[in-house]
Structure 1
Amino acid sequence: MKNYGVLRTKGFFTALILTLICALMGNFLGSQPYLSLIGALVISLILGMVFQVFKRPIETSKEGIGFISNKFLRLGIILLGFKLNLIDLASAGVKTILLAVVVVTGTVSMTYFIARKFGVEKELAILSASGTGICGAAAVMGISPQIKVAESQQARQRENEVLAVAVVAILGTVFTLIEIGIKPLLHLTPTQFGVMTGASLHEIAHAVAAGSSGGPISLDTAIITKLSRVLMLAPAALIIGGWYQKTSPLIAGQEKRHLPIPWFMAGFIIASVIGTFLPIGSATLALLVKAAYLFLGMAMAALGMSVNFRVIFQRGKNVFLAAFISSVILLMFTIVVGKTFF
């Protein structure tokens, strides 16, 4: 038992070092021109996949990798709350908040419906729908803990997480380039273009990249609109968790169901309140947000280290197509809404 405990400790520290390297590299690469379009979190995930070449360290640190992908994820999402300034969101007006509610509700529902029609399994469909509708990789990882599956299905659920992240990362990048390309054809004001990019694109990095092409007003509007969608992550996690529990069969050995309360999402909201109303300096807030992306990057790297590539390629086509169709409809909707109401 003593040797086993030492092995577990060594395995945890090995996982800690490997994921930290991936996260630091991801943050650095994600800040570089062109690569910023992909984003630090997705780069960390890719690096985690690459690190699978170190088979022995990965094999001996599986428990540590599982711990990091679970606990560090929650810590990162809590700290991400400091990025949300509630006063800025409120000053954006009722229209922006209402648009975020409509976009998140409509896109998540639509993407899930289309994915299920294409034969995508329930868990993968809701994760890809959440990433498409809310805020990309962070939403996938934030919603996933609410999807309670049996122990025998844990490995498949990790595959679902990776596949859903891959879908939103690829489509987000593609649609960022599309929106920048069609900008001259749309004849939108800077505010309207910012609304369109913030309301339609998947990751914060995508909204920033596209919004910045329209100038400072467009960029500010894109960020506020996108953060309004990020704010929907907490209620969405609660609603989706409750819905999944009610519509899924009982897990073996489970006597009764409880409404899954995502307590780390409460931390997310508390962090946003603290960052908005308490006298915390901008440098401190920036440091906390950097820490959030570091912990999230480590969680994404840990997830990448447990990927089964063969299964991912086999199962990806239908969910990718469903998210693509949904993204096209979302883009058209946000163009109309932007021109009509902003």
Structure 2
Amino acid sequence: MAFSAENRKGTINGILFVAIFAAAATMISEINFVKSLGISPLVIGIVVGIFYANTLHNNTPKEWSGGITFSAKKILRFAIVFYGFRITFQQIAEVGLEGFMVSLIMLSTTFILGTWAGQKFFKMDRDTSMLSASGASVCGAAAVLATEPVLKAEEHKAAIAVSMVVLFGTISMFLYPLLYNMGVFDMSAKEFGIYVGGTIHEVAQVVAVPASIPGASEEMANSAVIVKMTRVIMIAPMLIILGIYLSMSAKKSGTADGLGGVKLVIPWFAVYFIGMAGFNSLGIVPQNIVDIINEIDTFLLTMAMTALGIGTVFAKFKGLGLAPVYTSGLMFAWLLVGGYFITKWVVAVF
């Protein structure tokens, strides 16, 4: 046990070790240049963690491993639950049925496409394919973190998925404003906001796109963020459905519990996440307190991401080649092109 009498000191030291790295990542994210790129402390945390894992990792006392694992697993679940304080149901209602439908269609189609193509076309394993698909279809790095415990995937596979989110999310952040300013997108301000929120990976990147467009209206920015947060809250039902699917797959293959039995894995932290969003929708907690909770939550997510990076050694990547890039590139093309036509169709119909 991580906090048993003999392990407690090492576990606490491991947690503090991760917290120091997370604090450094947070400070780096506040640098104006870094902030202008829309790079969150979560992404910086995993980069710092991976750098450490592949340079100085042998210097880490073995006794600290329990604290590092605790940060990557337990603190992660806690942070995902409190991520619900970023969302209210009233915000989701503001963009109406159009925003909801675009979010639902893009999330489901992108996840299915990435999972299927990753395994069938590019010969990746199931976990890496699903993690990459969750990052592209929902909300980037945070979605990868939330999906990893449901799949019980290895840490380096989650790191691969996060790196793909960073690559293609960053491309999106620069490409969308460029195409919009060139007149490629035949969309109103609200339509483009829904399109951006429904197709770009990270929340920070969604915020950055309207801010990069000269004269962008408040309606565009608000629509983008609210639709994005609609996608974020959909991570909870997605993870529950994924848990049911994994149980059914285990039953079909006769591998569940090694006896052919079915063990339904319900990601309760995802259920609690919805409950927290519902509680936040009541408006009981003052906004300044909510802001503080969100800052603390971001730090905890950064700790989880940093711990994930510390467990990632490049040697484990061998054999994958460019398959993750091809899979994520295919999803990116679908989000960019397919997302445009789906947004136009949904707005026209609803």
TM-score normalized with structure 2 length: 0.89
Q: Quote the offset at 1:240 in angstroms.
A: 1.1
Task: Note if contact 1:79-1:291 (Cα within 8 Å) is conserved in structure 2.
Answer: no
Corresponding residue number in structure 2 for 1:212? 211
- Quick check: 1:193–1:211 contact (8 Å CA) kept in 2? no
Q: 1:314 to 1:30 in 2, by over 3 A?
A: farther
Partner of 1:73: 76
* CA displacement at 1:236 relative to structure 2: 0.4
Q: Deviations over 1:211-260 (max 9, x none)?
A: 32243332211111111110110000011121122224525656622221
Of 269, 283, 290 in structure 2, the residue corresponding to residue 264 of structure 1 is: 269
Match of 1:128 among 107, 128, 132: 132
Q: CA deviation at 1:80?
A: 0.4
Structure 1 letter corresponding to 2:174: L
The residue type paired with residue 331 of structure 1 is L
Aligned counterpart for 1:111 among listed residues 114, 126, 147: 114
Contact 1:108 1:130 in 2 (8 A): yes
Contact residue 256 and residue 263 of structure 2 kept, 8 A: no
Contact map agreement 1:89 1:224 (CA 8 A) in 2: yes
Structure 1 counterpart of 2:301, one-letter code: L
Shift in Å, 1:282:
0.7
Instruction: Indicate conservation of the 8 Å contact 2:42/2:305, yes or no.
Output: yes
Aligned counterparts, 1:52-67, within 5 A: 52=53, 53=56, 55-57=58-60, 59-67=62-70
Secondary structure in structure 1 of the residue aligned to 2:60:
helix
For 2:42, the equivalent position in structure 1 comes to 41
Letter in 1 for 2:32: P
Q: Whole-Å Cα distance in 1 between the matches of residues 187 and 33 of structure 2?
A: 25
Deviation track 1:149-202 (CA, whole Å, cap 9, x = no partner) reads xxxxx6xx2111111111111111112111122121225332222122211111
**Is it true that 1:315 corresponds to 2:320 in the alignment?**
yes
Match of 1:288 among 287, 293, 301: 293
Give the letter aligned to residue 235 of structure 1: P
The share of aligned pairs that are identical, in percent, is 24
Q: What is the match of residue 196 of structure 2?
A: 197
CA contact (8 A) 1:212 1:218 kept: no
Name the CA distance, whole Å, in 1 between partners of 2:92 and 2:39.
25
Q: 1 CA distance for matches of 2:68 and 2:187?
A: 46
Other structure's SS at 2:312 match: coil
Q: Deviations over 1:70-121 (max 9, x none)?
A: 0000011011000011101012101111111101100000111111121011
User: Which amino acid in the other structure matches residue 293 of structure 1?
Assistant: T
Structure 1's 31 and 192: CA in aligned 2 closer, same or farther, altered over 3 A? farther
Contact 1:49 1:306 (8 Å CA) reproduced = yes
**Post-superposition offset of 1:54:** 5.1
Q: What amino acid maps onto 2:156 in structure 1? A: E
1 CA distance for matches of 2:212 and 2:10?
Answer: 45
Aligned counterpart in structure 2 of residue 162 of structure 1, from 131, 139, 159: 159
Distance 1:331 1:108 in 2: 15
**What letter is aligned with 1:282?**
Q
Amino acid at match of 2:34: L
Structure 1 residue 304 and structure 2 residue 309: aligned? yes
Distance 1:211 1:59, change over 3 A: farther
Aligned to 2:329: 324
Could you tell me which runs of 5 or more consecutive residues in structure 2 were left unpaired when the two chains were aligned: none
| Greater displacement, 313-322 / 74-83 | 313-322
In structure 1, C-alpha distance between the alignment counterparts of 2:322 and 2:248, rounded to whole Å: 28
> In 2, Cα distance between the equivalents of 1:207 and 1:75?
25
1:8-50 Cα distance to aligned partner (Å, 9 max, x none): 2232122211211222222232233342322111111111123
More deviation, 196-205/179-188: 179-188
Provide the C-alpha distance between the structure 2 equivalents of 1:203 and 1:236, rounded to a whole number of angstroms.
17
Instruction: Report the CA distance shift for 1:254/1:308 in structure 2 as closer, same or farther (over 3 A).
Output: farther
CA distance in 2, matches of 1:51, 1:120: 26
SS in 2 for 1:61: helix
**2:286 corresponds to which letter in structure 1?**
G
User: Which residue, out of 174, 178, 182, partners 1:177?
Assistant: 174
Alignment partners' CA distance in 2, 1:309 and 1:251? 31
SS of 1:259's equivalent in the other structure is: coil
